[in-house]
Structure 1
């Protein structure tokens, strides 16, 4: 991470001169030793250190949650632990794997190497899907929503938290990812609202929900196989390849989902997917060419890039 000199947080002053100096020293080490990951903008050097500081004190928090929490005093053994944690972070271990926490759409989730770490960019899909589900509950007593490629369960959990009346399913090919998703549901008190399935996309629902689904959500792997070697080691070396390898063009699962979705969606039901940078226009045309989806709505991020497509089955 490189950038301007860090300003000392006010709460370090209250901890005393020694703690203030320790924070400044370790902040500088993180600023100089790490590259800022654009997909994790919340992980600034200061927020990273705050999260590790809380972890050393015995309180695991995500970077976002740690940014708003007052720093506690550390004992001598805890300061040693903090130095070790900073060393692990500088060696490339993801912050969310160290803390076991990641913030997503106001939820403090459990995180680990079993599934892709939820990114802030996926909150655009989460907000889009939750808004659609919010509309559906006005016309459907118990709308059915499925999140495929659920990973840690972040999108399924966001949907379940949005509409208590909805029947929410979360599906993933990885048993390890589903175990983490189940633990997240327990952690958030949402276990009774979600049915988890270990299956390849929609294979675990056929013929159970044919023509019955109101909302189908997916954040699929969309990195082309040829680009994997150029990915940061922090991602490629610590997060499951299954979660980001999208095949030769990066759209293998997206294309398959577009083909399979109409069998499961009811008339008027919605498909909402995240797409990679530069994939939005082509996937929109792919959906429109099917002539089964009207309308197809592109959703742009803050930079004006299409990162989500929402398509309604005619």
Structure 2
């Protein structure tokens, strides 16, 4: 059994010295301490998974490890970097400083992508799916795990992120279902195999304006790669390239699905509605009523963008 007095003393310290971050609502003082406790005990878990059961008692060495981890968390080291785990769509993924830590808000995009993929494969199709800016592979892995008929490929500009995504695929037993490549956006797939053949193109891109990246919370700016956040001067450089290039890869009736930053959704949706290549555009809102995901279908008769 967990040592109650030791647990409550550390929980009190965490509550007094640390404030939860709004971008990771699953990380409360209680779940954070449990995740660190499991890690000190030698069986790392994410905050979500750690909350499912109380860990065993710690010996003296493990208690020392726990106190060291607790001190690092209070100092601002992300929980996912201390545990090496982050929960996303029912999966405990490997996490590290080489890639963006998946956020719960991105599950809105994941659920929409899975729904679109299932609808396509229900027609007995083998669906080609591309996930760009894959990071640790969370979106690609969620689709590959949930949609049996999907052939998923993914890419990232960062070699560190690609290596982490491949380790996640192997850890989940999905490495046979997922091809992960290193390269700039859609460049790794610019071949006849994918041109005009993709049924679903997904992306959680960098969308913070360059000037705002250094001013982000120290826990983010100081520990997660700027490459995963910096979306250029206005925050939409990657999104603009994606919208321009996507029609060359999407088949007729194929979907483009991507996450947007707060305030970017309506403008990106308007742009897509003005593109001849797309004939259906949908905006998905989060619980606060903010557009965070945009979906666009390549028209059956539309010409690909130049």
| Normalised-by-shorter TM-score class | over 0.9
Q: Which residue of 2 aligns with 1:146?
A: 130
**Paired positions, count:** 298
* Aligned-partner Cα distance in 1 for 2:17–2:264: 33
User: For each residue in 1:90-145, what CA deviation from the matched residue of structure 2 results, as whole angstroms up to 9, or x when unmatched?
Assistant: 11111000000000000110000110000000000000000000001022521100
* Aligned-partner Cα distance in 1 for 2:298–2:91: 30
Q: Which runs of 4+ in 1 moved over 6 A?
A: none
CA deviation after TM superposition for structure 1 residue 165, in Å: 2.2
Q: Which residue of 2 aligns with 1:291?
A: 276
Q: Which residue of 2 aligns with 1:5?
A: none
CA deviation after TM superposition for structure 1 residue 34, in Å: 1.8
Match of 1:241 among 204, 226, 235: 226
Alignment of 1:4-83 (within 5 A): 15=2, 19-83=3-67
SS of 1:86's equivalent?
helix
SS of 1:268's equivalent?
strand
* Aligned-partner Cα distance in 1 for 2:74–2:41: 19
Q: Which residue of 1 aligns with 2:302?
A: none
Q: Which residue of 2 aligns with 1:262?
A: 247
User: For each residue in 1:192-251, what CA deviation from the matched residue of structure 2 results, as whole angstroms up to 9, or x when unmatched?
Assistant: 001111110111111231100000000000011111122011111111110000111111
Q: Which residue of 2 aligns with 1:87?
A: 71
Does residue 161 of structure 1 match 2:166? no
Q: Which residue of 1 aligns with 2:170?
A: 186
* Aligned-partner Cα distance in 2 for 1:140–1:195: 22
* Aligned-partner Cα distance in 2 for 1:204–1:78: 45
RMSD, matched Cα: 1.0
TM-score by length of 2: 0.95
Q: Which residue of 2 aligns with 1:6?
A: none
Q: Which residue of 2 aligns with 1:99?
A: 83
Query: Structure 2, unaligned stretches of length 5 or more?
Result: 300-306
CA deviation after TM superposition for structure 1 residue 190, in Å: 0.2
User: For each residue in 1:49-97, what CA deviation from the matched residue of structure 2 results, as whole angstroms up to 9, or x when unmatched?
Assistant: 0000111111100000001122211111111111111001111111000
Match of 1:301 among 280, 286, 305: 286
Query: Structure 1, unaligned stretches of length 5 or more?
Result: 1-13
- Kept in 2, the 8 Å contact 1:215–1:272? The answer is yes
- Kept in 2, the 8 Å contact 1:273–1:308? The answer is yes
* Aligned-partner Cα distance in 2 for 1:252–1:149: 13
Q: Which residue of 2 aligns with 1:275?
A: 260
Q: Which residue of 2 aligns with 1:4?
A: none
- Kept in 2, the 8 Å contact 1:164–1:193? The answer is no
Bigger share in helix: 1
Alignment of 1:209-248 (within 5 A): 209-248=194-233
